[in-house]
Amino acid sequence: MAAEIALPLLAETLPHMLQRSARERTAAVALREKRLGIWRSITFGELWAGAGRGARGLIGRGFARGDTALIVSGNGAAWVVADAAVLLAGGVSAAAYPSLSGERLAVLVRHIGASVLFVEDEEQLDKALSIKAANPAVTTIVVMTPEAPIVGDGTVVPLEELGAGHDAAPEAELATRIAAAAPDDIAVLAFTSGSTGQPRAVPLSNRNVCSALALRLEALPARADEEQLSLLPLALAAERIQGLYAALATGTLLHFPEGADTAFDNLRELAPTSVFAIPRVWERFYSNVTLALAAATPLQRLAYRAAIGIGFRAADRRAAGQAVSPALALAEQAARRLVLNGVREAIGLGRARWLMTGGAPLADELTRWYGALGLPVLQLYGQAETAATVALTPLGAPRPGTVGRVLPGLEVRTNAAGEVLVRGAGVFGGYLGDPKESARALADGWFHTGDIGELGADGYLRIVDRVTNIVVTAAGARVMPSEIENRLNLSPYIADAVVVGEGRRNLACLILIDYDHVVRFAQDNGVPFTNFQSLSRAPAVSELIGREIDRLAAAGPGTRIERFRLIDVELVPGDEELTPAIKLRRGLVQERFKTLVEAMYREAA
């Protein structure tokens, strides 16, 4: 077994953490990325040199301590170099999704006061040039892709040339900036998910980020042979902090896929030792296996059911804290060798020793299924305001129905309304430019998460739903819609759902279909369609979704879905209706598709 990385492994600031890793692991590979079909390796020494050169270039162009730079790019080594350069220069590093429209990006740049924009390609460069023309605060645009044309008045520079010319600051100035980095300096500007409204900017200090890293890595130490594949956007606070920064702090080898379209192919190619993803990814794997089974031979289905049944029995005993008998352990070993390991390898998880999920609740049924495959699922609970870290499932001590155990060093309690409150070194000091909302969120010295939850005496935390999500029907029944929605998401044909019914006599639901899987259903069953809209409107598809709702949705008192409608507009990452975790934004969806909601209740009347 590989040795675990020993603590203490973190400095008090991100610049000092980067410096320490570069000194201790100069020749070790930090990052690998696939470009044009070829994997390219970047050592810690090369990362440090590139980031240092970039930092000197920024300083030479007038970038002062505390200035903000915004990275608008997909994941990759260039993203990491840009981020590290900003941190080493004493700046504040922010990141945006490249799918943002030019208008939304312009508003964001002005709100956070960014003076430097790092852009991925020609498309983002065009946005940045338009923004700069209307916003004199933007002084420098750094282009991260060599292929993008360099235009403008000298304020546009390629990343590889930043700091390479005579205008770069001297090494001594960079050393002074790094030495001056302090725990309470703002280092990262994260953004809320916006699940219940517009995203807010969340300034995080070095202390916030480094304390969150230390807490998580003490609870779940990295091993010397750890390898991860970055599946989530680095603009997401959890991926940035507990993915990228945790890897750089511990020497974990972090791989970047060639692109979103090849990410799962790259996952199968690499078979990393651990994977961090959002529930939509884990739901997708489960759906793919479910559909593959439907097309398998009767003998293959019989073998799978027998093997997964053994896996369930063993996983259930572990979840209950009970010992697995020698006979069951032997049967489980055989089930894995003959069947279940093949399932794991087919989805790229053959070498994984644990999976981590965050960003949204994961259905208990999925945690149980992965456990039956021999893959512990660790829930990571946190928000941008808590540096993405409050609770984590301990490895080897799962507790179904919870988001893990509150990490030592943090205080968590619930108020009279059942809302989860958090206090500790990882909690932010207030939203950027929003004192009113900051005062509300940090009332009485506690961060009000907006989540309804229950904290057990053993420290395990259960999240019921968002405060703003709770539906109160006309009869006064309080319904937690997330519980119903999570069950519906187990269907391979449902991408997401929004349960409605506030002030109504019964519940209804808006459904977004899983396009790829429903296309396969339509092709197999001769259902004609031309696009997403026509597919969503096909009667056979509506009947299919109705059967899935009947199969999965609980039919207890007050929780039955009486009506549903399919959203006939294809939504993709970057659309306002979707959060970074690829979940439907309840309020925006209900507003945009209110005619569908009203139509359902007119029928019911």
Q: What is the mean pLDDT of residues 464-473?
A: 88
pLDDT at 165: 83
Q: Which amino acid is at 300?
A: Q
Judge whether residue 605 has pLDDT over 80: no
pLDDT at 193: 78
What confidence category does residue 5 fall into, taking pLDDT thresholds of 50, 70 and 90? Answer: very low
Dihedral angle at the C-alpha atoms of 143, 148, 154, 159, nearest 10 degrees? 30
Name the residue with tokens 């409608």: 565
Q: What is the mean pLDDT of residues 261-282?
A: 93
| Greater model confidence, 554 or 86 | 86
Domains of the chain with CATH codes: 14-182+220-262 (3.40.50.12780), 470-604 (3.30.300.30)
405-420 per-position pLDDT tens digit? 999 989 999 999 999 9
6-59 per-position pLDDT tens digit? 444 457 899 999 999 999 999 999 999 999 899 999 999 999 999 999 999 999
What is the value of pTM for the model shown? 0.91
253-267 per-position pLDDT tens digit? 999 999 888 999 999
Q: Give CA–CA dist 385/119, Å, rounded.
A: 26
pLDDT at 19: 96
294-320 per-position pLDDT tens digit? 899 999 999 999 999 999 999 999 999
Single out the residue of 497, 478, 499 nearest to residue 557, CA to CA.
478
Burial 119-152 (b: 16+ CB within 10 A, else e): bbbeebbebbbebbeebeebebbbbbbeebeeee
Q: Give CA–CA dist 156/210, Å, rounded.
A: 33
359-368 per-position pLDDT tens digit? 888 889 999 9
Mean pLDDT (the chain) is: 92
Q: Is the distance from CB of 492 to CB of 290 less than 8 angstroms? A: yes
Burial 395-420 (b: 16+ CB within 10 A, else e): eeebbeebbbbbbeebebebeeeebb
Cis peptide before 492 (omega within 30 of 0): no
Judge whether residue 195 has pLDDT over 90: no
**Counting runs of H as helices and runs of E as strands, what totals does the chain give?**
22, 25
Judge whether residue 468 has pLDDT over 90: no
pLDDT at 3: 52
Count of CB atoms within 10 A of residue 323's CB?
9
Q: Which amino acid is at 338?
A: L
3-state helix, strand, coil in the chain (%, to 5): 40, 20, 35
